[in-house]
Amino acid sequence: MSMPAAADLPRHQMLIEGKWVDANGGEWFPTDNPFLGKPWAMIARGDNADVDRAIAAAAAAFRGPWRKMSASERGAILRRFGDLVAQNADRLGEIETRDNGKLITEMRGQLRYIPQWFYYFGGLADKIEGRVIPIDKPGVFNFTREEPIGVVAAITPWNSPLMLATWKLAPALAAGNTIVWKPSEFSSASALAFGELFEQAGFPPGVVNIVTGFGSEIGEALVTDPRVAKVAFTGGDATGEQVYGLAARGIKPVTLELGGKSANIVFDDADIPNAIRGVVSGIFAATGQTCIAGSRLLVQRSIHDQVVDGLLALARTAQMGDPLSDATQIGPVTTPGQYRKVLDYIDIARGEGASCVIGGAAATRPECGSGWFVEPTIFTDVKQSMRIAQEEVFGPVLAVIPFEDEEEAIGIANDTQFGLAAGVWTQSIRRALTASERLEAGTVWVNTYRAVSYMSPFGGYKRSGVGRENGMSAIRGYLQEKSVWIDLNGEAPNPFVMR
């Protein structure tokens, strides 16, 4: 297959101050179609000068038109944006599939759901209220104001590009902040297509700016610029740690969502066919490339073989192939680097003594074409000490660990540095409630897995992150509270003593 010349590929510019612009240095980089294993578009390669321009535009918009608008007007623009996303959902979903190789059924579904975030947070924009505090000092009136923070840097990954950006943009904009958004270098095309809708919705220029390029080249300039007041990041924990450190230099608040090693726990009283479907949805859906992947199956020893056999049967029938086909169930891995990482972890697990009962290699079936496919893989005989039980693989690789009783299950589930999510499969209400209390995870699903909503908080315990996205409280992450004191006494007390 001949490679298209870079010059023939469509080119996508950046969005700064409402204008579509080339990168300052005039450079471009290719973005790949993971199913075809070759570039399909060129993206502007931003440098620090582009970051500077975008921050300047966001800072001016924050002081200017956006700040001056009423909260109701801001909310109306967000809701209009939601309508535009709904009208363009299928087109945007297709761009995502072409760019990151995830199933069209999944990306289209996400895009059709995304408008709800803009409706919900658009509705919340004019319901942000301060408080009057019955202060303990006579003749003094004290109240609070909830104010936006300023310019928010949103740094997003490639696995659910627009969904994870929306989780930041919708509350941040509703709260009255402005944005510089750096999408992943592996999935910028859909961000730029989203960008076209901002102007149509009526956002003033500069309220949302999109700078494309490599995190390693422009990330530091973006996070450390003193005009950026808050950083919202989703990505790997190593990069998250780096971003947290950079933000700390400027004492900036952060929201970090950093992946996990989530446990799906199947007790012997579970509805086993349902549990098996839930475990498969946790690890093979989205090719395991999701922060909430249920990458550890903890299964009660008495039903271990029954559950593993059921998983094998389902994994064997999973249809791999073109992610643009509605019939495909497992698509490619998104990047060559991720593909190598997944295959490396398979080698590591074998080297540590885990037993591979299915998969365990690159997929070379004809329907996989020249894409970066990995066979759905299951390891049994996994020990807690193994890297496959502790580290995030971010691929279709399941580690199965048996347990004897509830106590041991909770102990194993909590014995990782992460704490993003957990699944519990049981018919016992007592078990459901005690497990959901004792599991150290930001989300616990009982008899379901991989459910999210704009209404319910999402985020990590431990190394899985800082702060919460979604739900009403998410907007607090983009506000700061001010206390205002008004003296009504009319006489100045002793200036040398605290009032």
Stretch that binds ligand TXE, among 109-117, 126-134, 180-188, 483-491 (CB under 6 A): 180-188
Reported in sequence order, the residue ranges of 243-354 that DSSP labels E, i.e. its strands, are 254-257, 263-266, 296-300
Stretch that binds ligand TXE, among 37-45, 152-160, 370-378, 471-479 (CB under 6 A): 152-160
Stretch that binds ligand TXE, among 32-40, 151-159, 271-279, 358-366 (CB under 6 A): 151-159
Establish if 97 lies at the interface with ligand TXE (CB under 6 A).
no
E strand or H helix at 83, and its extent? Answer: helix 71-87
How far is it, in rounded angstroms, from Cα 135 to Cα 277?
Answer: 56
How far is it, in rounded angstroms, from Cα 266 to Cα 264?
Answer: 7
Choosing from 96, 257, 375, 406, which is the catalytic residue? 257
Smallest separation, CB 267 to ligand TXE (Å) = 28
Establish if 295 lies at the interface with ligand TXE (CB under 6 A).
no
Provide the CA 465 distance to its chain's centre, in angstroms.
11
Q: Which of 159, 178 has the CB closer to ligand TXE?
A: 159
Question: Is 440 one of the annotated active-site residues of the chain?
Answer: no
Question: Is 368 one of the annotated active-site residues of the chain?
Answer: no
Establish if 96 lies at the interface with ligand TXE (CB under 6 A).
no
Establish if 294 lies at the interface with ligand TXE (CB under 6 A).
no
How far is it, in rounded angstroms, from Cα 336 to Cα 344?
Answer: 12
Establish if 387 lies at the interface with ligand TXE (CB under 6 A).
no
Q: Indicate which single residue of 255, 262, 338, 470 sits in contact with ligand TXE (rule: CB under 6 A).
A: 338
Distances (CA, A) of 219 to 50, 59, 84, 151, 181: 12, 18, 30, 15, 11
Beta strands 254-257; 465-466: pairing state: antiparallel
Q: Indicate which single residue of 46, 101, 171, 219 sits in contact with ligand TXE (rule: CB under 6 A).
A: 219
Smallest separation, CB 252 to ligand TXE (Å) = 13
Contact characters 236-275, ligand TXE, x per CB under 6 A: x--x--xx-------------xxx----------------
466's tokens: 């800082």
Report the sign of the C-alpha dihedral through residues 389, 394, 400, 401, in that order.
positive
Q: Which of 242, 443 has the CB closer to ligand TXE?
A: 242
Establish if 223 lies at the interface with ligand TXE (CB under 6 A).
yes
Establish if 156 lies at the interface with ligand TXE (CB under 6 A).
yes
**Nearest to 34, CA basis, from 91, 89, 106, 96:** 96
How far is it, in rounded angstroms, from Cα 293 to Cα 283?
Answer: 5
Establish if 216 lies at the interface with ligand TXE (CB under 6 A).
yes
Distances (CA, A) of 481 to 26, 33, 143, 254, 476: 42, 45, 10, 16, 9
E strand or H helix at 279, and its extent? Answer: helix 272-283
Establish if 443 lies at the interface with ligand TXE (CB under 6 A).
no
Establish if 14 lies at the interface with ligand TXE (CB under 6 A).
no
Choosing from 291, 368, 406, 469, which is the catalytic residue? 291
Establish if 215 lies at the interface with ligand TXE (CB under 6 A).
yes
Q: Which of 347, 481 has the CB closer to ligand TXE?
A: 347
Stretch that binds ligand TXE, among 44-52, 102-110, 232-240, 404-412 (CB under 6 A): 232-240
Distances (CA, A) of 229 to 126, 321, 474: 22, 44, 17
Establish if 188 lies at the interface with ligand TXE (CB under 6 A).
no
Q: Which of 15, 155 has the CB closer to ligand TXE?
A: 155
Contacts of 15 (CB under 8 A, 6+ apart): 21, 192, 195, 198, 208, 209, 210
Distances (CA, A) of 276 to 280, 318, 344, 496: 6, 13, 26, 71
CB–CB of 183/154 below 8 Å? no
Q: Which of 101, 215 has the CB closer to ligand TXE?
A: 215
Contacts with ligand TXE by CB under 6 A: the residue count is 27
Q: Tell me the chain's radius of gyration from C-alpha atoms.
A: 24
Stretch that binds ligand TXE, among 166-174, 233-241, 270-278, 378-386 (CB under 6 A): 233-241
Stretch that binds ligand TXE, among 23-31, 106-114, 213-221, 305-313 (CB under 6 A): 213-221
Q: Which residues of this chain interact with ligand TXE, rule CB under 6 A?
A: 155-159, 182, 184-185, 215-216, 219-220, 223, 234-236, 239, 242-243, 257-259, 291, 338, 341, 392, 394
Question: Among all residues, which ones are annotated catalytic?
Answer: 257, 291
